[in-house]
Structure formats: structure tokens, C-alpha cells
Amino acid sequence: MNTGTGAGTGSHAERKAAWAVGGSFFAGVLMLVAGAVDILQGIAAVRGNAVFNRVTGYAYTFNLGSWGWIHIALGILVALTGLALLMRVPMARYVGIALAVVYFVAQFMYLPYAPVWAFVGMALAAFVIWALTTDRGASLTGSRS
């Protein structure tokens, strides 16, 4: 009979660690997808697509083309970081957290232009932040077992 008293003993800790590592893997996939969608969204904005709402009187108003270039650059960085997470690059976890915060803020500022995608993007960013900050498994050490 195991009567260990330390943290991390028993199957509950193993299940919790497996969930966090799975969440971290899923965060990498989400970052790849969100980055690709952000690139496409940026291209549509640069081209002046009529899909986006015309906004007046908004505190964070930029030219729609400027927002497009911001989203293209951010989308490339987010997608590359997602790929690095899937490859278990140790630094990718920290870069992913920072980029997810920037992505969250960018989506908040983009709310009037594409409200539905902005809310979805903010939810994805929040999940990515949670998954990467709770990961205590193999991706923390960068081991490729």
C-alpha cells in the first residue's frame, strides 16, 4: 500500500499532468490555425475587402490596411510559434504565452471590424495562455521522448 504524502504522488497527478501536456499540444495546433486565419484576415483587410465593418468614432481606429499588415505579421509569428510548440522547442512556450497576450489585445482592438472572429480569437488566446502556463510535463524540459 502506497501512503506517500508528497505532491505529485498517485494517479490523480498523472492525469492532471497528461491533461496539461495535451492542452499544450492542442495550444500549438490552435496557434497554427489561428495564425493562418489571421494571415488570411490580414490579406482581406489590406485588399480593402467589404467583409469588414466600417468603423467611425472608435478609440483605436487605424486605417483598415494598417490593421491588415498588423494581422499578417502577428499571424506569421503566431503560426511559427505554434509550429515550434509542436516541435517541443523549449523557448516556444514562453514566446507562445507572450504572443497569445499580444494576440488577445490585438483581437480586442479589432472588435468593431470583425466582432465574431475577435471574440473567438480572444477565447482561443485565453485557452493558449492557460494551456501553456499550466504545462508541467515534457514540453517544460524540452525532452523529445
pLDDT at 141: 47
- Point out the least confidently predicted range of 20-24, 31-35, 127-131, 139-143: 139-143
Q: What is the pLDDT of residues 70-114, one digit of tens each?
A: 999 999 999 999 999 999 898 999 999 999 999 999 999 888 877
| 9, pLDDT greater than 80 | no
Rounded mean pLDDT of 8-31? 67
Q: Name the grid cell of 22.
A: 495535451
HEC states along the chain?
CCCCCCCCCCHHHHHHHHHHHHHHHHHHHHHHHHHHHHHHHHHHHHCCCCCCCCCCCCCCCCCHHHHHHHHHHHHHHHHHHHHHHHCCCCCHHHHHHHHHHHHHHHHHHCCCCCHHHHHHHHHHHHHHHHHHHHCCCHHHHCCCC
For 27-71, what is each residue's pLDDT tens digit? 999 999 999 999 998 898 888 766 666 666 666 667 778 888 999
The per-residue pLDDT for 44 is: 86
| CA–CA gap between residue 101 and residue 121 (Å, rounded) | 11
Predicted structure pTM score = 0.75
